[in-house]
Structure 1
Amino acid sequence: MAHWVSDSDGSDSFEWDSDGNGEEAASFNAAGAGPSVLSAANTDDPGPSTRVANGNGKAGPSASLVQKYMDMGFAEEIVLKAMKDNGDDGVDSLVELLLTYQELGNDLKVDNGFASGCVPQTVDDSDDDDILGNWDDEDAGGRSTRVANSVDDSGDEDFLHEMSHKDDKIDSLVKMGFPEDEAALAITRCGLDASISVLVDSIYASQNAGDGYCGNLSDYEDNSYGGINKGRFMDGNKKKRKRYGGQAQGSRGPLDGSADEPMPLPNPMVGFSLPDQCPRPVNRDLPSQAMGPPYFYYENVALAPKGVWTIISRFLYDIQPEFVDSKYFCAAARKRGYIHNLPLENRSPLLPKPPRTISAAFPRTKRWWPSWDTRQQFNCLQTCVSSAKLLEKIRVTLTDSSDPPPPRVQKWVLEECRKWNLAWVGLNKVAPLEPDEMEFLLGFPKDHTRGISRTERYRSLGNSFQVDTVAYHLSVLKDMYPQGMNVLSLFSGIGGAEVALHRLGIHMKTVISVEKSEVNRTILRSWWDQTQTGTLIEINDVQTLTSERIETYIRRIGGFDLVIGGSPCNNLAGSNRHHRNGLEGEHSSLFFQYVRILESVKSIQRL
């Protein structure tokens, strides 16, 4: 009897687009509530900004940070005065100032003009104008000025927009597991326009170098941050981020983006080996920190924007990606990159091997397939299909043309057929692939996604693993874990990794699945109940999968043998040209969550 547990606390749906030549890929979530350093910041959510900055880009105090020191017994005006005077000198210096100012008491308030009301009080929606209107601002010439209240509406809007942009970046870094103070300081160092990857690099480099401000904050233990021993948490992270050669993770290249050159893609895209081919020699020396167990496996689209794969590799121990096109495993292309620490020897394919041509996969199409359509395989399967209007236009155009049609008609029809993966189903009649046909091409069992809407089926399948490809890489685990294994599945989607392990005959004792989409969780749960005897634990929010929660799971099940997943890629996909923000995108930046969780697992299991 299979068991499953849901740690989900919501039913949010999750959407994304496609990659490469019209390709697309998958998502992530996590368990239980509980105190965590990740939730230390932004406990309030006032208007456009809860933080104030000087004109030179220095971060002003946030309401949550002010409240932290107020909870320690310091008066609010003293906290604000000390923070302002202390600048970036660190927590030890700040505490000394707080104690000094507390001793001076009322005299300090009068001498320094606290009665003027220029210092912000507690933050809520109604206070934003006062905060922005009264906080001291230092201009480029070093002169102290004040931001006028409602003097220039357009200027206020620009300032609010800048603060909102800064808050968004700080929030993104906090969600990745970094303290708010370190995030704000990284923006001060690198500038507001710095990319997320550059900011992460800066934080990691600062932590590894023992930066006074960040280091002191990291070692500070405070119950107002949820009772977490932050010193223990951050010390562990520093050790985890140590790389061979004494460098910090993410600090191997300069922070100006000059190192983010495109990673050359192999042609043909055959990975390190293919079934039934003699393995070619691969020079791949993994650093000791990357060695398994636990083993890890990360997938993302191969045709990503410039610099993306360089960054991904840098944050995953500088391991060389394995780029594979699934057209060597099935009848549809799917260009993907995989970074993993799995052995390369003794790989074996799933049996029976799937057909690798359209005619072999769907013999009924042979009767109607015109000789001038020379396609042997489909392009990457997408999350959407062509319109009925286009199908009718193709039919009418071909009906009104000669046989064979003129070259210009052939060219147009073939372009549309390649773009939308259309198959010939009648005389002059093309149609998109049905969901069950996509299931077959991707290696899923028949009706795996049945029971949800056609739109959702296309979306879920278009973002999934190609099971045969992934199983070929994972096949080395079968002899290593004859009694079964525990799996942490991140961005599980519809369970491509789980289906691959099942088809390999690897027993899954426990799977902790992190998936935001309720539709995808339903598909995976249904398949699990029909096929598995192990325990499935479902989590729907990656931010709740803290180091403490991971440690709890590790104690409960005895550790993870495999951490597998791939972050949503609609900001990386070639077909998503309007929003190709690389790893800065709302969904693709979750890659850094994968890194955070993987490092937590490896660090905890080393203890």
Structure 2
Amino acid sequence: MADWTSDSDGSDKFEWDSDGEAEASSAPAMRNFDAPGPSTLSSNGWINGEPPPTSLIEGYVAMGFPKEMVVRSSKEIGHGDADALLELLLTYKALGDDDDALGNHSTSGCNLPIVEDDDDLDFENWDGDDDTGGRESSSDDSGYEEFLREMSDKDEKINSLRDMGFSEDEANMAITICGVDADLSVLVDSISASQVTEVCHSRNLSDHQVTARCFDSFGGKKRARLIEESKKKRKRYGGGAQGKRPSSDGSDEESMPLPNPMVGFNLPGYRGPSMTRVLPELATGPPYFYYENVARAPKGVWAKITRFLFDIQPEFVDSLHLCAAARKRGYIHNLPTENRSPLLPLPPKTIFEAFPHDKKWWPSWDQRTHFNCLQTCTASAPVTERIQQKLSSSGNPPPQSVQKYVRHQCSKWNLVWVGKDKAAPLEPHEMEYLLGFPKDHTRGFGKTQRYKSLGNSFQVDTVAYHLSVLRDMFPNGITVLSLFTGIGGGEVALHKLGIHMRAVVSIEICKANRKILRSWWDQTQTGTLIEIDDVKSLKDDEIASYVHRFGGFDLVIGGSPCNNLAGSNRHHRDGLEGEHSSLFYDYFRILNSVKSAMANM
């Protein structure tokens, strides 16, 4: 794959050999509206001593909000920010119980904190390459336990809201506003209220204009319709059903559910039913093509990719069924699915099979058998130092709260036990081994670059299992067009399968990755390697010239950058319209150009 930080904005501050780690910020400050400080409220309860204008209150009352609700909301957050005030009123109204909303809202399910940036990591979706640091909890043991409990609850609700079709940013903001203990129906209502507010403020109006004009836009029947729709959502979503909701870009894509277990069409030793499929005539090879990206993409992404790639159903596979590390990926290809065979010898399938020497120091309460997805970054020294300090100051075994905290850090960062109370990140050569690359494949570059390149790569054993059908189909060798080549995961898979590559045209933008591939090629291959640095520079006439030169391509393989797709990218998860993930369209363009050129041979 291309040299992009595949699931996040990506900084390299979380390297093992970094000089330090920025201290985790404290939890966002929560305003206690029932006991405000003297500097913010006047003696009569108004923030900064300024009651709202009578006309403002009357305007909200005319809209249909109870006067007591308007007054109470103004006392809580002031009236200077019409955006926040309208959102609070809409949220209370959407809850459908004015009396409860006007009561002690600290128990109504919707607290309103002062919000800072929320960078909490979605551990369940830590399936990409997020270089953002996780927050450390407070030093006392109960703090660790509470931290992990809230994190688990939050992750579950984020996933539920995503399944409903809401974006991850919307889910995070709703949980920040309403609290992690809020019912799912309350979170849905809060998101709906926020969407209304955004519509009002998209017009760049002043506060009073916003108030007046939003009354017009959302007054009367429209406001009633909003509340009715909110009630319907509560009934539908609160019951756990997954309804269809238009995506934020105006498209109306269906969600594509992920299978469980994520074993693809078949796997070695898997006793479940095999998938038999019939491909559209337009999709049949040659050329054969193979496309990969993260499985947990935003709603509608895989449906759109499928539509572009001849309506072929994706094959979703978690690599933990083939090796010792998870890697949830989707593959769309037109390869046969029968008569596949795994690489031999079979790779280790558990942590201890891969690294038996680590078992000596492994605590019994750390019961991991597989690593999580291998990332482009790793834990910094302060993370492992805090683990050691916590354990050395605890008994044996340590308290449950310490165990949970340490297990969380070890799972998140894929740490291994290398000494008494001493956890450490995987070394680059260990990641090479887990991903199926030859030893020292990335050696010669700094750790930062090696982690980044490996984190963005194919899992070789998984890809080789799918490509194994080509071995008997091309006994005299194969010509390959490799898009977003990365460090050559596809090429290494073909080589391990014993398939001679007569020619490979490789397109990879990262200079370091190109050097890694070239070094490996010169040591192991006798065919022709042509390197191009950018997919956008490859035009139809050049593709036609390569097709003529090599007699066509037997395989077009690649995985476009997943920066804007993966769950751990909180800030730029823009789907296929993102800056990097939109390069998928170049994969589709180039594939069609190859097919057209070969049809004209």
TM-score, normalised relative to structure 1: 0.59
Check if 1:406 corresponds to 2:399: yes
Distance in 2 separating the partners of 1:255 and 1:290: 31
Question: Which whole-Å CA distance do the structure 2 matches of 1:284 and 1:259 have between them?
Answer: 26
User: Separation in 1 of the partners of 2:446 and 2:248?
Assistant: 46
Query: Is 1:376 aligned with 2:369?
Result: yes
Question: Within 5 A, what are the aligned runs for 1:360-509?
Answer: 360-509=353-502
User: Partner residue of 1:115?
Assistant: none
Q: Distance in 1 between matches of 2:504 and 2:249?
A: 40
Are residue 597 (structure 1) and residue 590 (structure 2) matched?
Answer: yes
1:260 aligns with 2:249: no
Residue aligning to 1:97: none
The answer as to 2:22 corresponding to 1:18 is: no
1:276 Cα deviation from its structure 2 partner = 2.4
Cα distance in 2 for partners of 1:285, 1:255 equals: 34
SS at match of 2:125: coil
Instruction: Tell me how far apart the structure 1 counterparts of residues 380 and 6 of structure 2 sit (CA, whole Å).
Output: 17
Q: CA deviation at 1:579?
A: 1.3
Of residues 531, 541, 544 in structure 1, which corresponds to 2:534? 541
Hey, what's the Cα distance between the residues in 2 that align with 1:453 and 1:547? 37
Would you say the 8 A contact 1:327–1:377 is kept in 2? Answer: yes
* Cα contact 1:349–1:471 (8 A) shared by 2: yes
Give deviations 1:218-276, integer Å, cap 9, x for gaps.
Answer: xxxxxxxxxxxxxxxxxxxxxxxxxxxxxxxxxxx999845312100000000000112
Q: Partner of 2:338 in structure 1? A: 345
Q: Is the 8 A contact 2:266 2:274 kept in 1?
A: no
Question: For 1:360 and 1:283, how far apart are their aligned partners in 2?
Answer: 33
User: Do the aligned residues in 1 keep the contact of 2:3 with 2:452 (CA within 8 Å)?
Assistant: no
User: Which structure 1 residue ranges, 4+ long, deviate > 3 Å from structure 2?
Assistant: 253-259
Q: Which amino acid is 1:550 matched to? A: I
Question: How many angstroms apart in 2 are the aligned matches of 1:254 and 1:303?
Answer: 16
Asked whether the equivalents of residues 272 and 279 of structure 1 are also in contact (C-alpha less than 8 Å), the reply is: no
Give the secondary-structure state (helix, strand or coil) at the position aligned to 1:264.
Answer: coil
Per the TM alignment, residue 285 of structure 1 is displaced from its structure 2 partner at its CA by: 1.8
Whether contact under 8 Å (2:3, 2:513) holds in the other structure is no
Letter in 1 for 2:7: S
Q: How many angstroms apart in 2 are the aligned matches of 1:504 and 1:371? A: 38
Deviation at 1:283, TM superposition (A): 4.1
Tell me, what secondary structure is at the counterpart of 1:578? Answer: coil
The letter of the residue matching 2:317 is: V
TM-score by length of 2: 0.60
Taking the aligned partners of 1:419 and 1:279, their CA distance within structure 2 comes to: 31
Q: Which residue of 2 aligns with 1:355?
A: 348
Match of 1:527 in 2: 520
1:85-484 paired onto structure 2 within 5 Å: 257-278=250-271, 280-484=273-477
Query: Which one of the candidate residues 558, 580, 594 is aligned to 2:573?
Result: 580
Deviation for aligned residue 1:544: 1.6
Residue of structure 2 in register with 1:518 after alignment: 511
Question: Structure 1 residues 554, 512: CA separation in 2 closer, same or farther (over 3 Å shift)?
Answer: same
DSSP 3-state at the match of 1:502: helix
What is aligned with 2:146? none
Q: Residues 278, 404 of structure 1: CA spacing in aligned structure 2 closer, same or farther, 3 A cutoff?
A: closer
* 2: CA distance, partners of 1:331 / 1:309: 26
**What letter is aligned with 1:400?**
S
Contact 2:480 2:557 (8 Å CA) reproduced = yes
**Is the contact between residue 22 and residue 381 of structure 1 (CA under 8 Å) also seen in structure 2?**
no
Q: Which amino acid aligns with 1:315?
A: F
Aligned to 1:577, the other structure's residue is in SS state: coil
Counterpart CA distance in 1 for 2:476 and 2:285 is 18
Partner AA of 2:5 in structure 1: W
**Structure 2 vs 1, CA of residues 574 and 567 (structure 1 numbering), >3 Å: closer, same or farther?**
same
Q: Distance in 2 between matches of 1:421 and 1:366?
A: 15
Shift of 1:575: 1.3
Structure 1 letter corresponding to 2:292:
E
Question: Alignment partner of 1:430: what SS?
Answer: strand
Q: What is the identity, as a one-letter code, of the residue corresponding to 2:290?
A: Y
Kindly indicate whether the alpha-carbon contact (under 8 Å) linking 2:3 and 2:456 is maintained by their aligned counterparts in 1: no
Counterpart residue type for residue 424 of structure 2: A
Whether the 8 Å CA contact 1:365–1:423 is kept in 2: the answer is yes
Cα distance, 1:528–1:415 mapped onto 2, change above 3 Å: same
CA pair 255-388 structure 1, distance change in 2 beyond 3 A: closer
Q: What is the SS of the residue equivalent to 1:605?
A: helix
Task: Name the CA distance, whole Å, in 2 between partners of 1:502 and 1:292.
Answer: 21
1:147-195 Cα offsets, whole Å, 9 max, x none, are xxxxxxx99xxxxxxxxxxxxxxxxxxxxxxxxxxxxxxxxxxxxxxxx
Q: Verify the 8 A CA contact 1:422 1:430 in the aligned structure 2.
A: yes
Query: Taking every aligned residue pair, what percent have the same amino acid on both sides?
Result: 67
Distance change (3 Å), C-alpha of 1:460 and 1:400: same
Q: Distance in 2 between matches of 1:582 and 1:446?
A: 35
Equivalent residue for 1:36? none
Displacement of 1:18 after TM fit?
2.7
**Pair 1:309–1:414, CA change in 2 (3 A):** same
SS in 2 for 1:489: strand
Deviation at 1:572, TM superposition (A): 0.7
Distance 1:557 1:337 in 2: 30
Tell me how far apart the structure 1 counterparts of residues 250 and 317 of structure 2 sit (CA, whole Å): 27
Partner of 2:552, secondary structure, is: coil
Q: Which runs of 5+ in 1 are unaligned?
A: 1-12, 26-153, 156-252
Query: RMSD between aligned alpha carbons?
Result: 2.0
For the 8 Å contact 1:489–1:564, the answer to whether it is kept is yes
Deviations, residues 418-451 of structure 1 (Å, cap 9, x unaligned) = 1000001100000000000000000000000000
Letter paired with 2:530 = I
> Taking structure 1 as reference, are residues 373 and 442 closer, same or farther at Cα in structure 2, changes over 3 Å only?
same
1:542: how far off?
1.1
- The separation in 1 between residues aligned to 2:541 and 2:411, in whole angstroms, is 48
5+ long unaligned stretches in structure 2: 9-123, 130-203, 206-245
- Three-state SS of the structure 1 residue aligned to 2:467 is helix
Query: What is the SS of the residue equivalent to 1:478?
Result: helix
Whichever residue aligns with residue 329 of structure 1, its letter is: L
Aligned equivalent of 1:565: 558
One-letter amino acid matched to 2:371: F
- Other structure's SS at 1:16 match: coil
